[in-house]
Structure 1
Amino acid sequence: MTLRSLGRALAALTAFLVLTLVLARPARAKGSSVDERLAKVLARHGFTGEIESTLESRLGRKLDKKLAKLGRDLFFDSLLGLNDDNSCSGCHAPTAGFADTQSIAIGIDSNGVVGPHRTGPRNQRRTPTIINTAFYPALMWNSRFFAVSGDPFDNSRGFSFTAPEGTSLSSLPHLLNAQAFIPPTEVAEMTGYEGPPSHDVVREEVTERVNDVKAYRKRFAKSFQAVKRGDDITYEMIAAAIAEFEMSLTFADAPIDRFARGRRHAMTLEQKRGALLFFGEAGCVRCHAVSGESNEMFSDFQQHAIGVPQIAPTDDPAHSNVVFDGPNADEDFGLEQVTGDPADRYKFRTSPLRNVALQPTFFHNGSFTSLEGAIRHHLDVYTSATEYTNKHLDRDLRGEMGPLAPVLAAVDPLLQEPIDLTEEEISWLCAFVGEALLDPRATPKRLEALIPEELPSGREVHRFE
């Protein structure tokens, strides 16, 4: 090679390298720009990614692992159900992110299976997750249990429940302690017989059952000095143990949290773009809020009507433990059941989105069985609802659906206009909600490890699929 040809070759190589750098620079700048934009958006909404680290400081103490383990055993034990066939875990399944395996919950009179093959009469709604509920200021689909202060750690203004409890549980230290008083008294969930006595009588029976088990008394004595001295276990102690277990199910360290704390590579580019849509053009954050009382849980904990098609079991009484609303008993009036105000009909609490990918079904009645389908419904409520079919649901939920017209007439103004996104943008949004909000510690395998092999009562643990 001559000196001249060598020079030409070097010049060509230099030009190629310069061109490569010029072409590569915009891509790097684009990625950097996305990071900067997302960081600014999160800061504007007050999202810190540090909510989990505040749990013990807000409790004013450390989590009690021994008490939480006792609460776990109570949570999985049908001893607490006077129908003798269901426990908290029968509906809050670790195999489904401590949410429901069903579109509409099956409580008492089930076949003892927890999973896709669970059978029995239906209740009225899907069971929501208990993961991260330590930070929820309002519980249940119609928010009928809530902290008046807007802070579940603050009982200074009381905890409000429907009758007969009212505000009588307000002396308890946390909203979850108060909520733990309720499930054993619910006919369709655990009690199992019509016309039950007062809730206090039911709790007394449950407490007596636990006191009669020597293994439980031994366990409670390790956490409560009164029991160690020979006093009886009280329902307040049972509730405290269950609440402690639920508080231990705090999994709020997802990629979005790590990004907010400065780890820019915690999220993929697709997830970041989806986040910008979520907080921006798609408008999701208007209801799935992170600021203030929302505690970074991706819910405003308010009630909205969002046009979800009405699903109910067939009209055979054997298929339902609950009488549905409406003239044909095929509707769920939602918040109206609590307030008595027809203006609240079809309104349900905004579902918190952390770890939502663990759920097999979505919305208050599980009418959608894919996260993408649920997201698409939000983007175009009227088209989604009118084209909806229930043929993908379990056989007993495939009958004629409840009326749709009044549901669509009540749709929240925030969702009345379609949100126009491209297919690529929808894929980004799904990546953000499904992946970037999922704490990697909350995998099904890890949650299934919490299922006890045996119970202090000697009763069988449900069969989890």
Structure 2
Amino acid sequence: MQGTRMLERLVVLAMTGAALGACTDVGPERVVVPAAAPRADRAAAPDDVDAVLRGYLAAQGYTGRVAQTLEARLGRPVDRRLADLGRLLWFDPIHGLNDDNTCGGCHSPTNGFGDTQPIAIGVDNNRVVGPGRMGPRNQRRTPMAINTAFYPTLMWNSRFRSLSGDPFDNRQGLEFPAPEGRTLSYLPQLLVAQAFIPPTERVEAAGFHFPGGNADIRAEVIRRINATPRYRELFGGVFPEVRGGAPIVYDEFARAIAEFEFTLVFANAPIDRYARGEPGALTAQQKRGATLFFGRAGCVTCHAVSGPSNEMFSDFRQHVAGIPQIAPTRSNMTFDGPAANEDFGLEQVTGKRDNRYAFRTSPLRNLALQPAFMHDGAFVRLEDAVRYHLDALGSAAGYTTAALPPDLRGPTGPIAPVLTRLDPLLRRPVALTPDELDAMIAFLRDGLLDPAARPERLRHLIPDRLPSGRTPLSFQ
């Protein structure tokens, strides 16, 4: 009887936002415990753990079926022929005016279509994709491109966003930094609009030698593609006007890239199969970790799954999480701060000092495929990233870059101003037992991983030959 009352209390707590505490400015990958947090999920018997976890999932409206909603929300089937054209473009340096990088250089199928580096290496690279990639670094780690169809904001500072909060709904406009602003709002989905941007980014693909602005860069990209007979043939097979002799236009290039991204939905992890009624999909340890995540630890408050979060484990808001500031010894970018060793995050977009050091809550699906964690790759082990957030204030003084690549081991940027803005919920140390920590990590690492996204499953997407005739990048 006592166990039943305890279980009922847990489920009721799960269904009240107040039970998990309010999240006002809490950062990515956080682990917090609200005041008067219940401890029953720690000691629950196996049958009770299942009941508690099912209660939490029901309270969040978690279905495990978000992947199945894609085509209904697009309002059409995915065009496989257009997507395959986008796949070829993804790996072809033809649209990188520096002639050495492409989408696949930073979004690699060997890492869940994410970065192979703690901080991205864009132009002036050695044409290798993997641990051996070398060259000047950018400012942040490239996030994974898989499942981005469901993201209402894109990039670490959310500088690309759907104003409706729904990436499939452009009726309120799609907002980008200048010079684009809201001029791309006519496009049908946020990813289609986003595809306008990477070829124009100097540090990512365009380099620093081509004159002109964004429109000029796009015009040169399309000139190259139109001058390639094989691409004329491939685009003509999808777009009747091109088949009839009309030139390929940038909108068609963007549609092809986005269509390929629509095929990169990998949201069939053990937690999804469990939510759909397969109790054995999660191990006993992963279930214990999940009850901590959704319950006592309160992680789901910011790594949200409800409503516009689309079961992506992020609220897609900007928070200060107290991450150590990593500045590479060689970079294509000018960092912020008087010593040029800081990243002001959201302030770069809004110009507001109150937004300094704020970054978007990181979506957690398939994070086991990442080589590093946080916006600047400050941690290369998931265990270290979680431990840091259990006691950010206490851990900051002992942080070391020893595990990072040599060019990221220099002095870190100032941490004191970052911690001054640290969210109040992260100021209080959180005590997890070693078993609880292991359970949490097992859930995050394995319970959120779709096996179909593993490198051995995705490497076949890398083409052996490119329509442009250019030499492909070398994937390790």
TM-score, normalized by length of structure 2? 0.90
Which residue does 1:284 correspond to in 2?
299
Q: Alpha-carbon deviations, 1:113-141, whole Å to 9, x = none? A: 01111110111100000000000000000
1:338 partnered with 2:349: yes
> Does the CA-based 8 Å contact 1:255-1:436 persist in structure 2?
yes
Shift of 1:383: 2.1
Is 1:441 paired with 2:441? no
In the alignment, the residues of structure 2 paired with residue 173 and residue 253 of structure 1 have an alpha-carbon distance, to the nearest angstrom, of: 26
User: What code does the residue aligned with 2:76 have?
Assistant: R
1:25-44 CA distance string (max 9 Å, x none): xxxx9222111110110010
From 115, 126, 148, the counterpart of 2:141: 126
Deviations 1:203-257 (A, max 9, x none): 0100010010100110111111111111011100000000000110000011101
Deviation at 1:93, TM superposition (A): 1.2
Q: Post-superposition shift, 1:414?
A: 2.4
- C-alpha contact (below 8 Å) 1:354/1:437 kept by paired residues: yes
User: Which of 377, 381, 384 lines up with 1:373 in the alignment?
Assistant: 384
Q: What are the superposed Cα offsets for residues 117-175 of structure 1, whole Å, 9 maximum, x if unpaired?
A: 11101111000000000000000000000000000000000100000000000000100
> What is the root-mean-square deviation of aligned Cα atoms in Å?
1.0
Please tell me whether the aligned partners of residues 187 and 194 of structure 1 are also in contact (alpha carbons under 8 angstroms). no
1:351 corresponds to: 362
| Contact preservation (8 Å) 1:75, 1:89 | yes
Partner in structure 1 of residue 150 of structure 2:
135
> Do the aligned residues in 2 keep the contact of 1:301 with 1:350 (CA within 8 Å)?
yes
Structural mapping, 1:53-92, within 5 Å: 53-92=68-107
CA distance in 2, matches of 1:170, 1:180: 13
Q: 1:104 matched to which residue of 2?
A: 119
Matched AA of 2:270 = P
Structure 2 residue 279 is matched with structure 1 residue 264: yes
Aligned residues with identical type, % of pairs: 60
Task: Assess if the C-alpha contact under 8 Å between 2:97 and 2:210 holds in 1.
Answer: no
By relative contact order (CA 8 Å, sep 6+), the higher-ranking structure is: 2
Q: Distance between the aligned counterparts of 1:159 and 1:385, measured in 2?
A: 38
2:161 to 146, 149, 156: 146
Kept in 2: contact 1:294–1:301 (CA 8 A): yes
Q: Counterpart in 1 of 2:61?
A: 46
- Report SS of the residue matched to 2:161: strand
User: What is the match of residue 270 of structure 2?
Assistant: 255
Where does residue 216 of structure 1 map in the other structure? Answer: 231
Cα contact 2:286–2:443 (8 A) shared by 1: yes
SS in structure 1 at match of 2:192:
helix
Paired residue type of 2:246: D
2:325 alignment counterpart: 310
Corresponding position of 1:158 = 173
Give the Cα separation in 1 of the matches to 2:198 and 2:128.
19
* Deviation for aligned residue 1:94: 1.1
Unaligned regions of 5+ residues in structure 2, if any? 1-43
For 1:30 and 1:363, how far apart are their aligned partners in 2?
34
Counterpart CA distance in 2 for 1:168 and 1:418 is 46
1:361 counterpart SS class: coil
Tell me the equivalent position of 2:129: 114
The answer for the alignment partner of 1:326 in structure 2 is 337
Shift of 1:72: 0.5
Matches within 5 A, 1:15-26: none
Report 1:143-222 matches (<5 A): 143-193=158-208, 196-222=211-237
| Runs of 4+ more than 4 Å apart | none
Cα pair 2:367 2:444 within 8 Å, conserved: yes
Contact 2:141–2:377 (8 Å) recurs in 1? yes
Q: How far apart, in 1, do the equivalents of 2:367 and 2:302 lie?
A: 15
Instruction: Tell me which residue corresponds to 2:289.
Output: 274
> Match for residue 237 of structure 1?
252
- Equivalent-residue separation in structure 2 for 1:356 and 1:109 (angstroms): 28
- Taking the aligned partners of 2:293 and 2:346, their CA distance within structure 1 comes to 26
When structure 1 is superposed on structure 2, of 188-197 and 271-280 the one drifting more is 188-197
**Counterpart Cα distance in 1 of 2:209 and 2:424:** 40
1:438 positional shift: 0.3
**AA partner of residue 266 (structure 1):** A
Unaligned runs of 5+ in 1: 1-28
Per the alignment, residue 9 of structure 1 pairs with none
SS of residue in 1 equivalent to 2:466:
coil
Q: Which residue of 1 aligns with 2:415?
A: 404
Take 2:238 and 2:105, find their aligned partners in 1: how far apart are those partners? 26
Contact 2:121–2:136 (Cα < 8 Å) also in 1: yes
Determine the C-alpha separation between the residues in 1 that align with 2:54 and 2:449: 19
Q: TM-score, normalised by structure 1?
A: 0.92
